[in-house]
Amino acid sequence: MTVSLYGMTLAELETWLVAKGEPKYRALQIYTWLYQKRITSVQQMTNLPKALRDRLAYETTMETMEEVTRQVAKDGTIKFLFALHDGTTIETVIMRHDYGNSVCVSTQVGCKMGCEFCASTLGGLIRNLAVSEIVEQLVVCQHLLDKTNERVSSVVLMGSGEPLDNYDASLKFVDIVTESEGLRIGQRHITVSTVGLVPAIYRLADELRGITLAVSLHAGDDDTRGRMMPVNKAYDIATLLEACHYYYDKTGRRLTFEYALIRDHNDHLEDAQKLATLLSTLPCHVNIIPVNYVPERNLTRTSKNQIQAFVQHLQHLGINATVRREMGGDIAAACGQLRAEHSRESV
Ligand code: SAH
């Protein structure tokens, strides 16, 4: 059976090599080739003996995904649709900000969380991604950016899937890309976004990684949130916020709350009021997202004026809130849209 070189931490690669009778120090050499020199074939690892290169070529894999489509938006946003070895597809996005390039990776093929406004969950969960498939998304983006001497400066686990429902792979991904001998992405520049899987939030807090936790809240009361997000039936808002306080107390990291505004669902000023009350004692930032259109979901976006009124009301109530700048508006940049489009075309 082959293993993916992109699926191992440096320590795991050392163990793997030692078990094969190879010297431990080869792991660091391989890591440097993979993540700093960023080669695309083991035969390019010229400081390894030929026998080891051949062994790696035979027993390991590197890139396994195939690019199906790539869309480039006017603002520079690049969206990839990748086909995995089993023919399933995932999306990855590069976003250009003033402060650098941020990459949005997927953690699952599809999603089982069932949020009413989200395209990723339309066909349910197909499978978890392997760590290597999450790392590969980042590597492919970095390879593209290398052509213009740019680097990935931040990563968000906000593509399709629920990262905390694929917990081990998501965490190992963080460990691999933050490795000081590897891509060296700072923990502070990684954001994990969750629907609010409470036990996993406690677990993540206890791991004491310095990553940012973003929680998809989307409503200020349980009735509204329960209609939008089935997960709220398992973990209501009070239970979720208790876990969020714990995360802050443990890590000292300010949380982000995502709030997609949907006309007449959750966009009235009294919703802002409820939200402000809920978050009044938690150091956090609220990211307001004008809902993205999904043809299968008949949801209307809140008007520009109402978005402004909603945000101003939150700010007036002492909440740190901003409207997420829309990226890639002229391409299908919202979660799951490209994949959904692709599967509509293939039926
Ligand atoms: N499962 C995780 C991460 C993936 S979704 C989570 O739920 O947080 C990333 C973010 O996009 C979430 O906040 C999600 O609620 C939001 N989102 C999904 N569909 C959307 C849509 N149609 N418009 C705006 N935001 C959407």
CATH number at residue 27: 1.10.150.530
Residue 14 sits in the same domain as residue 154: no
Residue 11 sits in the same domain as residue 82: no
Does residue 162's CB lie within 6 angstroms of at least one atom of ligand 1? yes
Of 43, 61, 79, which one is at a domain's C-terminal end? 61
Ligand 1 atom at minimum distance from 111 CA: 1
Residue 46 sits in the same domain as residue 95: no
Average per-residue pLDDT for the chain: 94
Residue 267 sits in the same domain as residue 211: yes
83 forms bridges with which residues in the sheet? 66, 89
Cα separation, 188 vs 153, in Å, equals 10
Residue 120 sits in the same domain as residue 231: yes
Q: Could you tell me the two tokens for 4? A: 């993916």
Sequence-distant (6+) residues with CB within 8 A of 218 are 115, 117, 225, 228, 229, 258, 259, 260, 266
Residue in 164, 255, 216 with CA at minimum distance from that of residue 335: 216
Confidence of residue 347 (pLDDT cuts 50, 70, 90): very low
Of 11, 30, 61, which one is at a domain's C-terminal end? 61
| pLDDT tens figures, 176-191 | 999 999 999 999 999 9
Q: Which domain holds residue 47?
A: 3-61
Residue 225 sits in the same domain as residue 308: yes
Q: How many angstroms is it from 162 CA to the middle of ligand 1? A: 9
Catalytic residue, chosen from 14, 22, 91, 133, is 91
Q: Dihedral sign, CA of 122, 126, 132, 133? A: negative
Residue 7 sits in the same domain as residue 125: no
Does residue 294's CB lie within 6 angstroms of at least one atom of ligand 1? yes
Ligand 1 atom at minimum distance from 194 CA: 8
Residue 110 sits in the same domain as residue 41: no
Is the per-residue pLDDT at 73 higher than 60? yes
Confirm whether 162 is a catalytic residue: no
Residues 250-278, mean pLDDT to the nearest whole number: 97
Does residue 118's CB lie within 6 angstroms of at least one atom of ligand 1? yes
Q: How many domains does the chain have?
A: 2
Residue 180 sits in the same domain as residue 314: yes
Does residue 133's CB lie within 6 angstroms of at least one atom of ligand 1? no
Residues 197-207, mean pLDDT to the nearest whole number: 97
Residues 142-160, mean pLDDT to the nearest whole number: 97
Q: What percent of the chain has pLDDT over 90?
A: 87
Residue 229 sits in the same domain as residue 278: yes
**Helix 269-279 and helix 304-316, axial crossing angle in degrees, nearest 10:** 30
Q: 300 versus 129: which is more confidently predicted?
A: 129
Instruction: Read off φ and ψ for residue 250, nearest 5 degrees.
Output: -75, -40
Residues 110-114, mean pLDDT to the nearest whole number: 97
Residue 301 sits at the vertex; the CA angle it makes with 330 and 318, to the nearest 5 degrees, is: 110
Does residue 291's CB lie within 6 angstroms of at least one atom of ligand 1? yes
| pLDDT tens figures, 90-111 | 999 999 998 899 999 999 999 9
Residue 75 sits in the same domain as residue 222: yes
Looking up residue 188, the CATH number of its domain turns out to be: 3.20.20.70
Q: How many angstroms is it from 111 CA to the middle of ligand 1? A: 11
Q: Whose CA is nearest to atom 10 of ligand 1?
A: 158
Q: What percent of the chain has pLDDT over 70?
A: 95
| pLDDT tens figures, 291-331 | 987 777 878 899 999 999 999 999 999 999 999 877 776 76
Of 45, 61, 77, which one is at a domain's C-terminal end? 61
Residue 11 sits in the same domain as residue 153: no
